[in-house]
Structure 1
Amino acid sequence: MSWFSYLLFISFVFYGSYGQRENKFFRKDYHYLESVESFYKIQTIPRSWQVAKQICEWEGATLFYPENEVEANAVLGYVKEAQGYNHFWIGISSLLAKGVFETIDGLSLLDVYNKWATGEPNDGGGEEDCVVLNKEGSMNDDGCWKKHPYICKKTLAFLEWNTACKMPYPDYKYNKELGRCYKFHLSPKNWTEAYTICSSELSFLAVIESQAEADFLQQLTSLAPKDNIPGNYLRGAVHLGYHNRNGNGWRTIKGTPLENSGYSRWGGGQPDGGDLERCGTMFYNGQLNDIACDRRCFFICENDDVDVNNFDDRFADIS
């Protein structure tokens, strides 16, 4: 089979949204509430409002806000049962216009749940533009820079499912020969951000373990519509899952020494950055290159959990 025909084959992703809706499953770390037909995840590590919103989006969800009193009561009941936090960020802010509070999708508070605590919002200190919800169901404005727990939400009606890759991310492409799925990210990030985003998508920064995999990632990179992406980032290379961040030699993110990983073909003169370049990339030609970890690049995520003949375990832990 030619590379062209093969890539056409692997780039066609089958995803059956309706089947997953019937199973009422999104991710193992999200809890389904039947009364409001949505999935929720209590994020226990406090974050600023903006970071909380970003993490929810990376997971394919949104920062939760109550659409009505029914949803507020359902989620607060789950929060009290599961964790008991006193308050958490919700997807409401006045960041676009001071004092004009709207949801993350631009809805007026007149159209959603709108129960403020007594005397709120008060814009304390002139810097309270984001909103928390307490366990009693009252809203309060607070400084967006403060760190609070938060909740991510995925609505059942908007669930899409990638059957070939056994995950809720349709953009991943299945490679039949390698038995793995990959996604080329067109939003340049530094190495740590790329690592985090892949993890948020139930995947990891791609690790090359054979010449065949290197050839495929080179082709994937070649076909990606990347040439007109604006911004300040390093062109000509993509972040991959290997590094020398601890100074003990180049290793994959799986802990394997790079020379034992199955592929360690460096580009000419590489690695050449010493202590200044401790993170790993791949040149567009498939060869490896070291880079400063804070340099922004495109990146590739990989998911190996794609046994399409046995995926009942994905329906576990959804009660």
Structure 2
Amino acid sequence: MFTKSLFLLFTLCLVLNSNGQRNRKFFRKDYEYIDSTQAFYKIHTLGKSWSDAKRMCSLEGATLFYPENEDEAISVVEYLNSSQPFRHVYVGISDLVAKGVFETIDGLPVSDVYNKWSPGEPNDAGGVEDCVVMNIDGAYNDDNCAKKFPFICKKSLQSLEWNQPCNMPNLDYIFNEQVGKCYKFHVKPLNWTEAYAVCSAERSYLAVINTEVEANFLTTLTMGAPKDRVPGNFMHGAILLGFHSRLDEGWKTVRGTSLEDSGYTLWGTGQPDGKGLEQCGSMFHNGRLNDIACDQKCFFICEHDIDTLASSFNDRFGDQ
């Protein structure tokens, strides 16, 4: 009974906090809110393939945009043309599941949403056009999914939830009161560069240990993560962290300081031992530091400063 009541109380707090955040109409400072569509949008100017664009939006807690109706298409095209005019942007529509059957990323037939195509489209030119771009006039064209185009990510106001202790929309982060920061253990193994990019997309950074208290917490977080269920060929014994020696300046943290100035330099026995070949940072499961090859795939931990979003939020709204 107590556990059920605690769960209901947590759910109620989450709903109240999320509703409050919706009233403030704030998601991330790099997203623009359009009142007429009740949603947030971000234009990515660096082109990516369709699958990479979809993945990037997901990492940011959003989805690859497609217009739900003509009004939204008009609003977003106006926003696009006024800020970053492009000839084409990817939208979240493809026929990758079944050739010739165009659907949205959430499985809706394209006929059920905005469905304006350029003359003669879709035409599957060369038999390789399975993803959809929206032209600057708001009309669709099918194109090769491997091509790189700019794209737009979307977060609807109604879907917005808020991690109140961490002051961020990502609910997977855990707040540690002793350290005053939030953390997420990623169970999909990536190499150091890929992990760095994932943390950045989540408005966080690869974790940097500053104290032994923090090291102990990350050790506990690692012990509790569902690591044993993850298949694949990767290094199980190390967790990627936010330090490196890639700039020939000695060991530096991703926060721009030397590792010596970070406050924590407890290396594992015999570490670092890569002799320049292992230029990226990790920790063993006991919290001791380890150098590792940057292309080695491992689990990793992202760290989030709780005032990262708060500062931009307060700039917009002040104390409410």
Q: Considering the TM-score relative to the shorter chain, is it more than 0.5?
A: yes
Does residue 314 of structure 1 match 2:306?
Answer: no
Structure 2 distance, partners of 1:247, 1:234, is 25
Q: CA deviation at 1:275?
A: 3.2
Structure 2 match to 1:112? 113
Q: Give the AA of the match of 1:252.
A: T
Question: Hey, what does 1:3 align to over in structure 2?
Answer: none
SS at match of 1:274: coil
Q: 2:3 maps to what in 1?
A: none
What CA distance in whole angstroms lies between the structure 1 residues aligned with 2:308 and 2:102?
46
Deviation string for 1:231-250 (max 9, x for gaps)? 22210111100011123321
CA deviation string 1:198-246 (max 9, x = no partner): 1111110000011111111111111112221122221011110001112
Identity, % of aligned positions: 58
Distance 1:315 1:85 in 2: 32
Q: How many residues align?
A: 305
1:149 aligns with 2:150: yes
Aligned to 2:245: 244
SS at match of 2:141: strand
Shift of 1:316: 4.2
Q: Secondary structure at the match of 1:73?
A: helix
* Structure-1 separation of matches of 2:36 and 2:299: 41
Gap runs ≥5 in structure 1: 1-11
TM-score, L = length of structure 1: 0.91
The question of whether the paired residues in 2 share the 8 Å contact of 1:173 and 1:181 is answered with: yes
Deviations 1:68-94 (A, max 9, x none): 111111111111122222210001111
* Cα pair 1:173 1:182 within 8 Å, conserved: yes
Q: Counterpart in 2 of 1:140?
A: 141
The equivalent of 1:198 in structure 2 is 199
Tell me which amino acid in the other structure corresponds to 2:229: N
- Residue matched to 1:254: 255
Task: Note closer, same or farther for the CA distance 1:31–1:266 as it changes in structure 2 (3 Å cut).
Answer: same
Q: 1:293 to 1:176 in 2, by over 3 A?
A: same
Aligned to 2:227, the other structure's residue is in SS state coil
1:67 offset after TM fit, Å?
A: 1.1
User: Do the aligned residues in 1 keep the contact of 2:210 with 2:263 (CA within 8 Å)?
Assistant: yes
1:93-124, Cα deviation, whole Å (9 max, x unpaired): 11122222111111111111111100111111
Q: Tell me which of the two structures has the higher relative contact order, counting C-alpha pairs closer than 8 angstroms and 6 or more residues apart.
A: 1
1:10-49 matches, cutoff 5 A:
15=14, 16-49=17-50
> Shift of the alpha carbon at 1:315?
5.1
Q: CA, structure 1 residues 85+187, in 2 after alignment: closer, same or farther (shift >3 Å)?
A: same
The answer (yes or no) to whether the contact 2:89–2:133 under 8 Å persists in 1 is yes
Q: Is the 8 A contact 1:23 1:315 kept in 2?
A: no
> 1:306 Cα deviation (Å)?
3.8
Counterpart residue number, 2:4: none
Aligned mates of 2:19, 2:262 — CA distance in 1: 39
2:243, 2:130 → 1: CA distance?
Answer: 40
- Counterpart amino acid of 2:164? T
Q: Which residue of 1 aligns with 2:302?
A: 301
Matches within 5 A, 1:122-271: 122-271=123-272
Q: Check whether the contact 2:29–2:312 (CA below 8 A) recurs between aligned residues.
A: no
Contact 1:25 1:315 in 2 (8 A): no
Q: What are the superposed Cα offsets for residues 268-293 of structure 1, whole Å, 9 maximum, x if unpaired? A: 11112223311111101101111111
SS in structure 2 at match of 1:76: helix
Matched-pair contact (CA < 8 Å) for 1:48–1:146: yes
CA RMSD of superposed structures (Å)? 1.9
Alignment correspondent of 1:101: 102
Equivalent residues of 1:127, 1:143 under 8 A apart: yes
Distance 1:207 1:33 in 2: 36
Q: Could you say what secondary structure the match of 2:71 adopts?
A: helix
Matched residue SS, 2:276: helix
